[in-house]
Amino acid sequence: MKKYQLGEFEEIVILTVGVLYKDAYGVSIKKEIEERLSRNVSMGALHTALKRLESKGYIKSFDGEITEDRAGRPRKYFQITALGKKAMEYSRSTRDDLWKSIPKVALDVKMVG
């Protein structure tokens, strides 16, 4: 049974939210991911992921300032919650476990092959 549900893209998003710390809102998250991962992120995918993370309680949001470019719409900043942190740790530890369980031989062969 899964304790914490965190999809691949969701994990990237929540990690990025963590990276940006107090500066995480839609556009900045998108740019950060695109920069770091060299992949295109659509607004649709990003906001869907954000909404899901928020509804799972992994992140919370608050309204921020209004800039000129935003045509009077406030920024919505995101922050990781305690539950979100647990989910991230869980996700990380399962990966570490998996890493640790890989016999060295397997990786060696791979490198040679």
Residue ranges in contact with another protein by CB under 8 A? 25-27, 30, 42-45, 47-48, 51-52, 63, 66-71, 73-76
Closer Cβ to another protein, 43 or 107, answer by number? 43
Closer Cβ to another protein, 51 or 95, answer by number? 51
Quick one: which of 109, 36, 52, 45 has its CA closest to 84? 52
Closer Cβ to another protein, 6 or 75, answer by number? 75
- Shortest distance (Å) from residue 43 CB to another protein: 5
Closer Cβ to another protein, 45 or 109, answer by number? 45
- Shortest distance (Å) from residue 89 CB to another protein: 26
- Shortest distance (Å) from residue 51 CB to another protein: 5
Q: How far apart, in whole angstroms, are the C-alpha atoms of residue 67 and residue 77?
A: 14
**CA 45 to centroid of chain Cα atoms:** 12
- Shortest distance (Å) from residue 34 CB to another protein: 11
What residues contact 51, with CB distance under 8 A and at least 6 apart?
Answer: none
Inter-residue contact 98 to 91 (CB < 8 Å): no
Phi, psi at 21, each rounded to 5°: 50, -105
